Structures are given as C-alpha cells and as structure tokens.
Chains A and B, each alone.
Chain A
C-alpha cells in the first residue's frame, strides 16, 4: 500500500478501494511530475509506471486539443479500453492531477467507474 489515509490523495485512494474492492490498480497522479501521490495495486500493474506513462498520454491529448484550437474546453476523462481491462484517467483539480484506475471490464463498466471517481473530485481539489 503506497498511501497514507491521512492525506487527501490517500483518503481518495482508500475511498475508491472501498467502492471498488475488485479494482486492479489505482493512483492519484501529479501531472507536473508524473509521480503518484498515493496508489494501490491488486495486480501486476505497477502504479508508478502507469503514472509516468499515462501522464504523457494526457499531455499528448492536450497537444491534440491545441492542434484543434479548442477554446474553453477541458478534458474530463480519458477511457482506454483494452481486451479485458478498462483504464480510466479522470482529471481533477484544474487538470493538475488525475486519478488513474484500472478495472476488469467484466466487473465494472464506464458508468460505475466514473461515478466512483467523480465522488473524489472535491476531496482532491
């Protein structure tokens, strides 16, 4: 367990684990550094690796949005669908952090995953 429940990020991770006990991995990631503030994994997925690489995915999409010249638009979330897994990146706190969640798509769908992550928005802002 790479978190302390006494921090907001650690509390958010704990809340997400409580709501989705079958999750594969979760992390609260600081976008400026690509490092996780709190994380937990129930699988072989290394949350630190996921934090670093997915920060770059978010940055690439921000570049794509500037190519699109979108104004007054922000990313709510990015859902990556794999054969058996959902990887959800939910941006919070003015896009300074994101929650990264991996679930098995048999157990959890997008609506459930989003609902659980949305509930942590206030805690992390």
Chain B
C-alpha cells in the first residue's frame, strides 16, 4: 500500500499555473474551480478517475469568508488566514498578507499535510474515537496552525509570526472560532 494512495489531487493539480496569485491584504481570495486554469496539454490517461469537482456554493463561500473575517479580527497580526477544502485542496476564502508563495500551491500543500496526517492516524489504528483536531507547526520564526473544522472537511490555515503571539493563544482562538 502506498503512503500516497489518498493523495490523488496532488497528481492532478498544477500549482505553478496559479502561483501568480499573490494577493494584497484585505483582498478575499475566490479561486475559481480548476477547469478555468491552464491545464496540461495532453489529457491525462485514466482521467475518468478525476471527475470534475462540484462548484463551491455561494453559501459555503460566504460562510468561509465570514470565518476568515472573524479570525482576522481576533488575530490582526496574521500573515495568512485561509479556509481550504482539506480533500481537494481548493481555497474557499482567504487573506494573504505576508508571504511570498502562490496561494493555490500553499493551500494544496497544506491540505496534503492534513491528508498525510490522517493516513498516519489511520495506519496507527487508534480507534474511531481519536479524531484529528489540529496540527501546529512551529518554525523558527513562524507558527502555522491547521485547524480541522467540524463540518465539510474544511481546514483553517493560519500563519503568524512567533513574535506576535504564542501557540496556546493561537489554538485557543481558533478552537473557539471553529466550533
């Protein structure tokens, strides 16, 4: 069994196609479904396994945008706040104030972190009562929190500078907003 058996979206997506999406603060990201982006010239073999994803409803997007606004309000020093579909890696809403990578690529990569963690939890057979709540990554100068939201496989991604906050505060705030 491959470690990446559930990560088919990584093979399908072409993050560099959209890596120009560096957005100024206060701009809500509304990334269009994948079919509007440049796609590979040759159709992939066995393309039948990648059925087109359903469009994100306006209601879902509004809900995601509201959540982003609440996080920004609580964490005004944020670098990035985004709501991402943890299965497809698609961005539902986000504000990208302080990093240089492409929004779509970053969202996909973090969805993959969550997927890989889920695979690890599954492989360890911890029992059905042990569910993933969040993943906190401490870098030398930044904190990245991936908070699993209770509905719809959504993932809240927050990046902040270590100097502006602490892990306990970040987790408390996001946990409160996520429920």
Given A45-B126, A67-B102, A69-B99, the answer on whether A53 and B140 have CB atoms closer than 8 Å is: no
Of all chain A residues, which has the CB nearest B106? A67
Q: Is the beta-carbon distance between A53 and B119 smaller than 8 angstroms?
A: yes
Q: A50 in the interface, Cβ–Cβ < 8 Å? A: yes
Q: Which interface class (under 10, 10 to 19, 20 to 34, 35 or more) fits A? A: 20 to 34
| Total contacting residues, chain B, CB less than 8 A | 42
Contact with B along A71-84 (1 / 0, CB 8 A): 01111111111111
Q: B39 in the interface, Cβ–Cβ < 8 Å? A: no
> A46 vs B167: C-alpha distance in the bound complex, in angstroms?
28
Given A64-B110, A69-B99, the answer on whether A78 and B129 have CB atoms closer than 8 Å is: no
> A76 vs B167: C-alpha distance in the bound complex, in angstroms?
13
11 contacts between A and B (CB under 8 A): A44-B126, A45-B126, A53-B3, A61-B113, A74-B139, A75-B137, A76-B138, A78-B138, A80-B121, A81-B171, A82-B121
Chain A residues close to B by CB (< 8 Å): 44-46, 49-50, 52-54, 56-57, 60-61, 63-65, 67-70, 72-85, 110
Chain B residues close to A by CB (< 8 Å): 3-4, 15, 99-102, 105-106, 108-110, 112-113, 116-117, 119-121, 123-126, 129-142, 144, 159, 167-168, 171
